[in-house]
Amino acid sequence: MSKREDIKMRTIPITKIINIDDPKKFKFHAARWNGENQPLDVFVKDKKKWFMWNTWRNAKDEFSRKYIFSLIDFYPENNIWLFGGIYEVINRIDIPKSHSYEIKELSEYSDYVGRLKIKLEKPSRGRAFYLEHHINKMSISEILKQPYSGEIFPGYENINHDFDILSLIFENENPDWKAALKNVKGVYVITDKSNGKTYIGSAYGESGIWSRWSCYIGTGHGWNDELTKLIKKEGFDYARKNFKLSLLEYRPMKADDKVIIERESFWKGVFLSKGKFGYNKN
């Protein structure tokens, strides 16, 4: 192995950029799926809510030390975490039926929040661990140019995303996604994961995919007859929990609308989306 290859493969410990004099003053917060939300999605959508994730306290007083070293499960990649900040525990609040931590963020590490990705094998179940047992196992995966704001556009052929993930992308108007999708027409499929039914739709005229899908993100149904009935009955959360969107074909905005409409009809036949197998009315 050449010296250059050896350097490339060598891991860089997290302690090279985050100075922890005494790990025994810290608890490691391994923030991950809590049964309802992914902390990564919470971080992208609302930084205040992410801050509150670090203040939640149960009867065990899990953050029993002076500081909290907080990492967010970066679930798109295995055993990768996003640095969520270091917090000082100022007070432990106990009022009837409510327990919490009063905390403040250590500003000297705030530039790394949302940018520093850390490689660490996931510890056992739980959210609070002694930092000294894990700090030396943490290495730098990469440092992003900007705080993480959602998945990078994967290419037109690789769009196959759950509604709630796309919601974050559209609500934050991620520039790479918006630039790619607002300049193409095309045919798409919405799949209902609860029953396998599909809806085939298209964007043409002056409306690009970005504009058309924004309507779904805002309404859950895009004003399509059968989907509107479904969401009216089941509620908006039904779309968030069950819908997945994928782009079947895309064309430049100068493409003839007639071609898009013909391809939409073709895909309706492929998926049998009219009738009992889907939500297309015609």
Please say whether the structural domain 156-271 has been given the CATH code 3.40.1440.10.
yes
Closest-CA residue to 79 (of 116, 129, 123, 37): 123
What is the pLDDT tens value at each position of the chain, 282 positions in all? 454 544 445 789 999 999 999 999 999 999 999 988 899 989 998 999 999 999 999 888 999 999 999 999 999 899 999 999 999 999 998 877 678 999 999 999 999 999 999 999 999 888 999 999 999 999 999 999 989 988 889 999 999 999 988 998 998 898 899 999 999 999 999 999 999 999 999 999 888 999 999 999 999 999 999 999 999 999 999 999 999 999 999 999 999 999 999 999 999 999 999 989 999 998
pLDDT at position 1: 47
Hey, which bits of 6-165 come out as E strands? 26-31, 67-73, 80-95, 98-105, 116-119, 128-130, 139-143, 160-162
The residue whose two tokens read 């106990």 is 94
Two structure tokens written together for 51: 């801050």
Q: Which residues share a beta bridge with 92?
A: 101
Residue type, 72: I
Cα torsion through 144, 147, 150, 154, rounded to 10: -20
How far is residue 262 CA from its own chain's centroid?
A: 34
Query: By the 8 A CB rule, do 65 and 25 touch?
Result: yes
pLDDT value at residue 230: 97
pLDDT of residue 125: 83
Quote the pLDDT of residue 96: 72
Residues 210/182, Cβ–Cβ less than 8 Å: yes
Give the pLDDT confidence score for residue 252 in this predicted structure. 96
Q: What is the pTM of this model?
A: 0.72
Domain ranges of the chain: 3-143, 156-271
163-171 and 209-219 helices, crossing angle to 10°: 110
